Structure 1
Amino acid sequence: MTRSVYVTGIDRGDGRQVVELGVMELLTRQVDRVGVFRPLVHDRPDRLFELLRARYRLTQDPATVYGMDYHEASTLQAEQGADELVSTLVERFHRVTREYDVVLVLGTDYADTQFPDELALNARLANEFGASVIPVVGGRKQGAESVLAETRNAYRAYLALGCDVLAMVANLVAREDRDEMAEALAKRLPVPCYVLPDEPALSAPTVAQVSHALGAKVVLGDDAGLARDALGFVFGGAMLPNFLNALTPGCLVVTPGDRADLVIGSLAAHSAGTPPIAGVLLTLDEVPSDEILTLAARLAPGTPVLSVPGNSFPTAEQLFSLEGKLNAATPRKAETALGLFERHVDTAGLLKRVSAPSTDRVTPMMFEHKLLEQARADRRRVVLPEGTEERVLHAAEVLLRRGVCDLTLLGPEDQIRKKAADLGIDLGGCQVIDPATSELRDAFAERYAHFRAHKGVTVELAYDVVSDVNYFGTLMVQEGLADGMVSGSVHSTAATIRPAFEIIKTRGAARSASDRAVVGDGRAKPDADIVSSVFFMCLADKVLVYGDCAVNPDPDAEQLAAIAIQSAATAAQFGVEPRIAMLSYSTGTSGSGADVDKVREATELVRSRRPDLKIEGPIQYDAAVEPSVAATKLPGSEVAGQASVLIFPDLNTGNNTYKAVQRSAGAIAVGPVLQGLRKPVNDLSRGALVPDIVTTVAITAIQAQTLDQKAPQQ
């Protein structure tokens, strides 16, 4: 039977979209098919459903999402009674349950409705749907005692109406009251109670929303600038020195269009990062000259400059009535909302109470969610050497807002801060270090000279080397100042991982650097563990691990066995039960030749070293993954037909296969993930998108959590 969760409230203005988004995130971690149903809707398309559809790639027909609009519902109730209204909505709800494992129900919004007791209607619908309820109480501009009383009363009201209350949420509470309220509610109610503080970035409108509400003309600016949050408003009228002192981070400057001095002054302050602003709104239908606008565009590229015909007073009235809204056009607000939800809600406990049906299917989205959750559970610090790269900055913002890990960005601090300001990115809580000027440079030079003394590297030469961001980041990891490193969005693979081979080395490397050099093709000498890689191939219903598709061109049997053992360990680390298929063009004993014999020998080496691992080889790809073929070629095998770790005999085969599956089967390829190093360093594709960077950083943080911290130190 389909399990449903009904998120509702007691009045308007409770900000429950944060909770609805958070619950959807939880459900999609565990269940493949999640449906959405909104019994009553004002406008179609509904902005929250459009956000959910875009973010979670929902394929649900929008026509099935909505029960009916408020006018239709009001008329039906007036003419045929409440029972007929509820009966109709229940029938339409069950159309969704027939198609989905779990349904998230978005309760009514208490805005401009004709229903005398909307709380009772929500309660009845939840009961008729067989849904458990999460009521949300809004606490903005209320004292702690008032919110506590409302939350307790809401619980009793829904309980009295026969609802199964999963949890209570008090939202938008004053930050200074949050902890005290959470403690008080935990003592007074028998269900989990979560208290979410008011988050200014969520209630703040974006510059694009301001522009739309005011019907403003966009004079300057790009999409990234328009996506900035307007965290406050500063009205220009004073002389420039006094005006500059009034600027606050993230503010929208409102000034008459003929005050070119204030326009240029505020944009110059933004360019210097003192402070970064959201944009400029010009009133009186006045726009500075072309020369001023050209200067403005050069001072702060992408920063929005808007123009409205009205004067400052009516414009101010409109601005102060605006509030930020979560929708498909505000993905950064969605990240902020999820970060807030995950920081203050026991997500694991809530998911257990939902009792969503478990599934053996693992979709790409479920795998990605699990990575972020696993990284967040034990936060580590990851260093990103490419701190001035736009994609890296966007990824850093997502990681920080979601609380996935702590971050260090490398590069000239003024450039990073300016680039972040131009992009409207908040780097609060992120460490920024310039290797060229860092006080760590001298110590790092001495350490690197020690590591490379056998190569004739002096401290003076090392001083220049460690100013390189990849070398500096690698030394941070080696010295325990960061737990892992991710680079490669603008650097080559060699530039990213060569420092790791020189400094961090393999887990099997001995203490003597002179005896453990790494050869040019990425392989360690025979007496050290091999460095290899895997890709996580996220198919429609499962995750496979492919190795090695990125590092070792032609491993011998010994190295192939090591790759298989490493890959099995990596698979287990990320929740994939390792069943190893050693791939070849022949299955079992049907073929012979040097290539097949290499795979056969490697398989026997794995069996002798790790008898606990399930392994089959040599085996062809179809016999490894397709049960019907396996039944014919290797009947009775505990691996054939259900392999999860596929080891390719050489780089040519592996690299081409992963790309063929990625492009032809629509799989999401996550990686390459390096394995065999003493501490985690991972390489990005230079075409990596922001989600790719986020996922790779999460993987690196997880590797840091579980990697053997007792490896020998240099």
Structure 2
Amino acid sequence: MARIVYLVEHGPDSGKSAIALGLAELLSRKVPRIGVFRPVVAAAADPLLELLRSRYDIGTPADQLFGVTTPDAAALLAAGRGEELVGQIVERFRAVSGGHDAIVVIGTDLDDDLSFNVRLANEFGAVVASVVNGHGLADVESPARQAYHSLVDLDATVAAVIVNKTQGEVKPPSLPVPCYTIPEVPTIGAPTVAEVAEQLGAHVVTGSGAALGRDVLDYVVGAAQVPTLLEHLTEGALLITPGDRADLLLAAGAAHASGLVPLAGIVLTLGIEPPPVALRLFERLNPGLAVLSVPTASYDTIDASTRMEHRLSTANPRKVEAALGAFESNVDTNALASVLELSRSSRVTPLMFEYDLIERARADRRRLVLPEGTEERILRAADILLRRGVADLTLLGDPAVVETRARDLGVDVSGATVVDPLTSPLRDEFAAEYAKIRAHRGVTRDLAWDVVGDVSYFGTLMVQLGHADGMVSGATHTTAATIRPAFEVIKTVPGVSVASSVFFMLLPDRVLVYGDCAVNPDPDASQLADIALSSADTAARFGVTPRVAMLSYSTGTSGSGADVTKVAAATELVRQRRPDLPVEGPIQYDAAIDPAVAATKLPNSPVAGQATVFVFPDLNTGNNTYKAVQRSAGAVAVGPVMQGLRKPVNDLSRGATVKDIVNTVAITAIQAQG
């Protein structure tokens, strides 16, 4: 039977959507299949439901995830047909509740009727989580207690009370159920410049996608002279000024570009656009700001802008990550899961695997260095990683360039340390260390000084000398440029002849481990055994029970040849070194993964038909196979994850997405914990 959590709002604008997202994230880590439902929606196309549906791979069609629309509900209530309304909602819920292990229900604020929500929660068999709006409250104890007792008095089963949007960190009230407080994060509820533009029907005069994605935290109306305007600009403000005030346009652009005050954007009113020469000068300043034009006057423009309501949606993943970061930093998710009686499933789905990475990395934060500190994807990933508390980050690059790039992209990496290898005082220490390590190769101190100015070598030496616990690179560098310094400086674990790599292959119903698909072209039997053992250890560290298949074109003794002999010898070495490890080889891929084939070819094998770790005989086979499975089966390939090094260094594909980078950083942090 599914565990159902019903969210009830106490006070309008409580940030209930962000709490629903946090609960869905928590549930997705514990059970394979989660569902969502809203009893009443404003319109059939609901942004929050679409966000949850896409993020958590909920297969139920969007038009089945709600009970009724607000106009239909209002009409039934006005006609005195409240019981019919409840019946319709309950019927719709029961139609979609099957097939889920847990369901989040986002309650309605229809007529602010608490009893209506509790009635539905009880009809659904749900426990209730109360969300209290803590914005502007000096004392949250009284409203939290009032929320709890009002629900109990209506016979609700209360699981938790969450006071959201508090002013800074506030001690949670003491209640009979878990109570949490979450500080307000202005960027979550702030609209983007693009959303303001849509609300106003504005014409975009200039501005990239990144500029339109900036958060609007404040509004400033510009009508005074330049010095007065500069005194009143605030961080994240949207400047609204008449279109004929080119002086204010240029002053605001200069203030932003110089770093005096980071703005959100500029709206020019009255349908007037600045002279072309002024606009060209503004663009030459390269402030990374969007300029909008509207036909309305400044008063009407500010009135329309401030009345708009932002909602979490798929259109702005950065706000989603900020909301999750706030939830996870202030809610004891393990304790809450226990209260909700959620136990982790023995089956590991791709979603559970990915979210477990974040949770484990956050539990014991490590210091990681990202050498490509000015690259857009790295900066966007760093923003997410810092918001969610995954790791403490060092970005390599010129601090001024990093700051400018981050400002232009509208991301916040202020929580990271920025180090320029060319000017860092650590360069002397690193040069001495590298010269000592490579003295047998004739590397002098002067040569080492030049080498360690390279971000890859600098980052690797940060890890080697304890200034960082791990490194992730490769978004703009080749694999060789990333791992060669690691081979030279960090070197392999004693007893392991080669460093190697694995990919975590996230299939719809399981997670498999493929090695080595990125590093060793043609390992011999001893190296292949090392790869198998390293891959098994990596699998176990990340929650995949290792059952190792040593792949070949032959199963058992059915074939012969040098390649088969190599795999057979490697298999015996693995068995000798790890008698406890289930391993089979030589074995073909179909016999390793398909129980029916295994029953025919190797009926008594503890691995055949249920392998989780697949060790390929050479790089050609491994690389092609992982890409074939990735493209043909729609699998997500996470990696390559380096293994066998004394300290963790991981390589990114140059086509890595922001999500890939986040996952790889989390993996590296977990490796560093070990």
Instruction: Place the TM-score, normalised by the shorter chain, in its bin.
Output: over 0.9
Structure 1 unmatched runs, 5+: 509-526, 707-714
Asked if 1:165 is matched to 2:158, the reply is: yes
Q: Match of 1:565?
A: 533
Task: Tell me the equivalent position of 1:202.
Answer: 188
Q: 2:374–2:401: 8 Å Cα contact kept in structure 1?
A: yes
Match of 1:24 in 2: 24
For the residue of structure 1 that corresponds to 2:63, the secondary structure is helix
1:156 Cα deviation after fit: 1.1
Q: Is the 8 A contact 1:470 1:495 kept in 2?
A: yes
Name the CA distance, whole Å, in 1 between partners of 2:603 and 2:80. Answer: 64
Aligned twin of 1:463: 449
Shift of 1:302: 4.5
Q: Which residue of 2 aligns with 1:656?
A: 624
Q: What code does the residue aligned with 2:119 have?
A: R
1:126 aligns with 2:121: yes
1:85 maps to what in 2?
Answer: 85
Alignment map for 1:547-626 (pairs within 5 Å): 547-626=515-594
**Equivalent in 376, 388, 393 of residue 407 of structure 1:** 393
Scaled by the length of structure 1, the TM-score of the pair is 0.92
> 2:500 maps to which residue?
532
Which residue of structure 2 lines up, in the alignment, with residue 284 of structure 1?
270
**Which residue number corresponds to residue 313 of structure 2?**
327
Paired with 1:439 and 1:280, the residues of 2 have a C-alpha distance of 41
Alpha-carbon shift at residue 346 of structure 1 (Å): 0.6
2 CA distance for matches of 1:342 and 1:140?
19
Q: Which amino acid aligns with 1:309?
A: P
AA matched with 2:627: K
- Report the TM-score when normalising by structure 2: 0.97
For the residue of structure 1 that corresponds to 2:277, the secondary structure is: helix
Match of 2:107 in 1: 107
User: Which residue in the other structure is 1:684 paired with?
Assistant: 652
- RMSD value over aligned CA atoms? 1.7
> Which of 365, 373, 376 is 1:390 aligned to?
376
Distance across 1 between alignment mates of 2:283 and 2:363: 43
Instruction: Map 1:352-371 to 2 at 5 A.
Output: 352-356=338-342, 358-371=344-357
CA distance in 2, matches of 1:546, 1:565: 12
- Given that 1:268 and 1:300 are in contact with CA atoms closer than 8 Å, whether structure 2 keeps it comes out as no
* Matched residue, 1:59: 59
What amino acid is the match of 1:353?
A: V
Residue of structure 2 aligned with 1:486, choices 472, 475, 478: 472
- Describe the shift of the 1:252–1:562 C-alpha distance in structure 2 as closer, same or farther (beyond 3 A): same
Q: In the alignment, is the contact (CA less than 8 A) between 2:129 and 2:160 conserved in 1?
A: yes
C-alpha displacement of 1:689: 0.9
For 2:269 and 2:80, the matched residues in 1 are separated by 52
- For residues 78 and 257 of structure 1, do their structure 2 counterparts lie closer, same or farther at Cα, with a shift above 3 Å needed? closer
| Inter-partner Cα distance in structure 2 for 1:611 and 1:242 | 77
Shift of 1:309: 2.5
Amino acid at match of 1:125: L
Q: Which moved more, 1:442-451 or 1:15-24?
A: 442-451
Q: Write the distance in 1 (CA, Å) between the matches of 2:627 and 2:302.
A: 55
Q: Distance in 1 between matches of 2:300 and 2:40?
A: 34
Residue 85 of structure 1, CA deviation? 2.4
1:152 corresponds to which residue? 145
What's the CA shift for 1:368?
0.8
Hey, what's the Cα distance between the residues in 1 that align with 2:669 and 2:65? 38
Which deviates the most, 21-30 or 73-82?
Answer: 73-82
Cα deviations by residue, 1:25-67 (Å, 9 ceiling, x for unpaired): 1112222322221111122211211222333343321121110
Following superposition, the deviation at residue 339 of structure 1 comes to 0.4
1:139 corresponds in structure 2 to 134
Structural mapping, 1:305-454, within 5 Å? 305-356=291-342, 358-454=344-440
SS state of the match for residue 263, structure 2?
coil
Query: d(CA) in 2 for partners of 1:25 and 1:391?
Result: 23
- 1:395-439 Cα deviation digits (max 9, x unpaired): 111111111111111111111111111111111211111111112
| Alpha-carbon shift at residue 80 of structure 1 (Å) | 6.0
Aligned match for 1:500, one of 468, 486, 504: 486
Deviates more, 1:531-540 or 1:98-107: 98-107
Q: CA deviation at 1:260?
A: 1.5
SS of alignment partner, residue 170 of structure 2: helix
Give per-residue Cα distances to partners, 1:565-598, cap 9 Å, x unaligned.
1000000110000111111111122222221111
Q: Which amino acid aligns with 2:84?
A: E
Contact 1:270 1:300 in 2 (8 A): no
CA distance in 2, matches of 1:255, 1:161: 52
Task: Determine the C-alpha separation between the residues in 2 that align with 1:81 and 1:307.
Answer: 48
Tell me if the contact between 2:29 and 2:344 (Cα under 8 Å) persists in the aligned partners. no
8 Å CA contact 2:48, 2:311 repeated in 1 = no
Stretch moving more, 402-411 or 336-345: 402-411
In structure 2, C-alpha distance between the alignment counterparts of 1:247 and 1:470, rounded to whole Å: 40
**Kept after mapping to 2: 8 A contact 1:135/1:154:** yes
For 2:627 and 2:328, the matched residues in 1 are separated by: 35
2-structure distance, mates of 1:317, 1:79? 35
Q: For the residues of structure 2 that align with 1:360 and 1:587, how far apart are their CA atoms? A: 30
Displacement after TM superposition at 1:217 (Å): 1.8
Measure how far apart 1:600 and its partner are: 1.1
Amino acid in the other structure paired with 1:151:
A
Distance 2:378 2:184 in 1: 28
Partners of 1:444 and 1:191 lie apart in 2 by 53
**1:76-107 deviation line (CA, Å, top 9, x unaligned):** 34546433322222111100112433221110
Q: Secondary structure at the match of 1:17?
A: helix
Q: How far off is 1:228 after superposition? A: 0.8
Q: Distance in 2 between matches of 1:492 and 1:358?
A: 39
- Provide the C-alpha distance between the structure 1 equivalents of 2:385 and 2:670, rounded to a whole number of angstroms: 14
Find the partner of 2:170 among 157, 179, 191. 179
Query: Secondary structure of the residue that 1:422 maps to in structure 2?
Result: helix
Q: CA deviation at 1:241?
A: 3.9
Which residue of 1 is the match for residue 97 of structure 2? Answer: 97
Tell me if structure 2 keeps the 8 A contact 1:4–1:131: yes
Distance apart, 1:357 and its partner CA: 6.6
Deviations 1:109-129 (A, max 9, x none): 24xx4xxx6100100100010
